[in-house]
Amino acid sequence: MIANFKKLSEIYVDHLWLQFSTEAQDMAWSEARQYSNQVSRWTAYLNLLVLNSFIPYLRENISLDNSSLEVMFSDRLSQSQTWKSYLWEFFNGTIIQVGDIRLAIIPDDRAIADDLSIVKEWVDIPQFAADYYLGVQVDLEERWVRVWGYVTHQQVKEKAEYDSWDRTYLLDAEDAIADLNILWMARELGIQERGEYELKTLPSLADSQKNDLIAKWGQPSAYSPRLEVTDEEFWLWGALLWDNSGREELYERRRNITRTLTESEQSSSDVLSQPVEILQWIQKVLESICEVVEPLLESSEDRLIPEYRSAQSIVAYEGSSIVDLGALALGQQIQITQIIMPVDDSGLLDILIDVSAMNEYTSLPIALELQAFDRNNNVFLAAKVEENDANIRLEFNRKFKNPFGIRLVLENSQYLEYIYQ
């Protein structure tokens, strides 16, 4: 592991390489569990790992003089000496104010860092916008962070491809500047890269309007409510998040409703109060559709989620299968890995479905799509392969015995369909 880190850092010498410990992973995951769903927990987890590595580097290596160093839109937690941002409940990224400039760190745990995806909120809302956006790759298995480049706000506005469906700006890694020393030189010269662009004044929210928006977007879900916001509502969304109490109340409402639901459902169902039965169901379901099924122990140090360490009890099951995609994909084989983990004894499950190329030097077929659908065959979550993607994954929550399914689709051909019931 150390040898591999050393080798990579010697190859990509312009990139910033930092390492973190298993203790840092445990602390980050402990804090991340406070968020309402698996996507937001994972977002918080990655951002905390990067912050806890990058902030010490800045303090030790960058001349700050009398300049301030502040993690914006977050609170410093005194007990754990880490940060908490309510915005991680809704989208990825963290703003760091270094003197007069703002850095936006955008973590990503993909195996190949070939682009930078930035949500519209970090770019078009002046109160949130940054001067520089840093692409950060996180390797959870080998425990390192790589800052592989940065782009300016002006580059994002002028060169990025904008995806209106999920409101993100996408830039190729080729457009990024790899050497952070250039950024620090620009900072010393007082160059601000937010530049002159159309400023949008956020609307003022009356208390009644703020409460209505919190009620509307505060319902629990497996994904961010930002995907439910219409174009006409976007600036109301921005105003609510900019309001300190507004974003905290929205976070707390989503978190507390999720907790209240699981508590009430636990008291009303004898079946859901039996974690042993839930684990037996998970094992049975995976054994019916997977070639290999293994129990995940809390002591398994090589597992994806650090919560799996420190004891010998079974906390989840992992199933995997090899699938041949046939003639359309030139006989390429892929691996499908499925992890199903009870969140608690209420029957709420964390589900991760990962589709990976068998050969580490081979990408998945472009446009291959992984879909999750409900009992009515309605797709509620999907991920599609883009160029050079080595894997795609879905992460979501479902209730125990609430049927769902996943399928793989390529060019209107369905390769497989698994039903969980």
pLDDT per position as a tens digit, 274-328: 456 777 778 788 878 777 777 765 444 444 444 333 334 556 778 888 877 765 5
What is the mean pLDDT of the segment spanning 266-281? 52
Q: Which of 86-95, 180-189, 317-326, 412-421 has the highest mean pLDDT?
A: 86-95
Instruction: Extract long-range pairs of 242-249: CB within 8 Å, 24+ residues apart.
Output: 242/125, 242/127, 242/128, 242/202, 243/205, 243/210, 246/205, 246/210, 246/213, 246/214, 247/73, 247/86, 247/87, 248/86, 249/210, 249/214, 249/218
CA dist 290 → 156, 284, 337, 338 (Å):
43, 10, 9, 9
Give, to the nearest 10 degrees, the angle between helix 234-242 and helix 207-217: 110
Binned at pLDDT 50, 70 and 90, residue 160 comes out as very high
pLDDT-wise least confident of 118-132, 182-196, 255-269 = 255-269
pLDDT in tens, 190-210: 666 665 555 577 899 999 999
> What does the alpha-carbon distance between residue 393 and residue 385 come to, in Å, rounded to a whole number?
10
Beta bridge mates, 103: 96, 132
> What does the alpha-carbon distance between residue 217 and residue 214 come to, in Å, rounded to a whole number?
5
What is the mean pLDDT of the segment spanning 208-235? 87
What is the mean pLDDT of the segment spanning 40-54? 91
pLDDT in tens, 162-174: 988 888 999 998 9
Per-residue pLDDT for 259 more than 70? no
Q: Give the torsion through C-alpha atoms of 198, 199, 200, 204, to 10 deg.
A: -170
What is the mean pLDDT of the segment spanning 55-64? 84
Alpha carbons within 13 angstroms on the beta-carbon side of residue 254 total: 30
With tokens 């190859």, the residue in question is 11
Sequence-ordered list of residues with C-beta below 8 angstroms from that of 167, at least 6 positions apart, any chain: 119, 120, 121, 226, 234
Per-residue pLDDT for 236 more than 50? yes
Looking at residue 81, its pLDDT comes to: 55
> What does the alpha-carbon distance between residue 289 and residue 274 come to, in Å, rounded to a whole number?
24
What is the mean pLDDT of the segment spanning 136-156? 91
Looking at residue 342, its pLDDT comes to: 79
> What does the alpha-carbon distance between residue 324 and residue 220 come to, in Å, rounded to a whole number?
37
Sequence-ordered list of residues with C-beta below 8 angstroms from that of 213, at least 6 positions apart, any chain: 205, 236, 237, 240, 246, 250
Per-residue pLDDT for 79 more than 50? no
Nearest residue to 96 (alpha-carbon basis) of 178, 176, 187: 187
What is the mean pLDDT of the segment spanning 2-12? 70
Nearest residue to 402 (alpha-carbon basis) of 371, 372, 375: 375
Looking at residue 219, its pLDDT comes to: 81
CA dist 231 → 158, 226, 238, 340 (Å):
21, 10, 11, 35
Per-residue pLDDT for 222 more than 70? no
Asked whether the beta carbons of 313 and 351 are under 8 A apart, the reply is no
Determine the 3-state secondary structure of 214 from DSSP.
helix
Per-residue pLDDT for 264 more than 50? no
Buried b (16+ CB within 10 A) or exposed e, 328-361: ebeebebebbbbbbbbebbbbbbbbbbbbbeeee
pLDDT in tens, 332-388: 778 888 888 877 656 778 888 888 887 666 788 888 889 988 877 888 888 888 888
Q: Which of 85-94, 108-117, 322-331 has the highest mean pLDDT?
A: 85-94
Per-residue pLDDT for 60 more than 90? no
Percent of the chain with pLDDT over 70: 80
Instruction: Report if pTM > 0.85.
Output: no
Q: Name the residue with higher pLDDT: 215 or 377.
A: 215
Mean model confidence pLDDT for the chain:
79
